[in-house]
Amino acid sequence: MDSPNYDRNQALLDQIRWLELKKQRLEEVIEHAKSIQRGKNMSDFTAYNQEELEAFQEEARTRWGDTDSYKEFENSHSKNDFSMISQAMSQIFKDFGQLKELSPTDEKVQKQVQILQDYITAQFYNCTNDLLASLGIMYIQDERFQKSIDNWGGQGTALFVSKAIDSYCH
């Protein structure tokens, strides 16, 4: 606090923003619980899986924190963005789930892979085909990703998406 670089107003603004984020998170959990109480079957992971999201973020930081792609992502997003991004990503995988009856090479499925790649590029980092192929493998090798994707799109969606990505990239 005695440092000449210390900005009291900025420190207070940062503290207020952090508290507002915590408040928003708590409000989401309360609304989720009320929805369940009203009889709605809510499968939206954003209310309860904050710890998992933070674990994913920390793992990504550990794995790719030194890469230009990760630095680009980290510089362009605030914590507030993650709720919106996670909802959009879950919808993309729900849409994949609706396509599971088709072949992974079907034109509609391949267009959905393009949607996924474009979204990742727009929201995270430049998602080249090589990076996308790596994600496709991770979606089935990492149990957490597989479980989440299957939760959103139905059993077998993660494997289906992985096959579709493999076809798209090769």
Give Cβ neighbours of residue 1 (< 8 Å, ≥ 6 apart).
8
CATH fold of 48-169? Globin-like (1.10.490)
Burial of residue 63, with CB atoms counted within 10 A of its CB: 0-12 exposed, 13-18 middle, 19 or more buried:
exposed
* Closest C-alpha among 80, 79, 83, 77 to residue 124: 77
CB of 132 within 8 A of CB of 169? yes
User: What average pLDDT does the segment 57-63 reach?
Assistant: 67
Range among 87-96, 103-112, 127-136 rated most confident: 103-112
pTM (predicted TM-score): 0.57
Half-sphere exposure of 41 (CA within 13 A, CB side): 1
In the chain, domain spans? 1-42, 48-169
CB of 140 within 8 A of CB of 158? yes
Q: Higher confidence at residue 17 or residue 101?
A: 101
Could you give the 3-state DSSP secondary structure of residue 71?
Answer: helix
> Tens of pLDDT along 73-82?
666 555 546 6
Give the pLDDT band of residue 58 (cuts 50, 70, 90): low
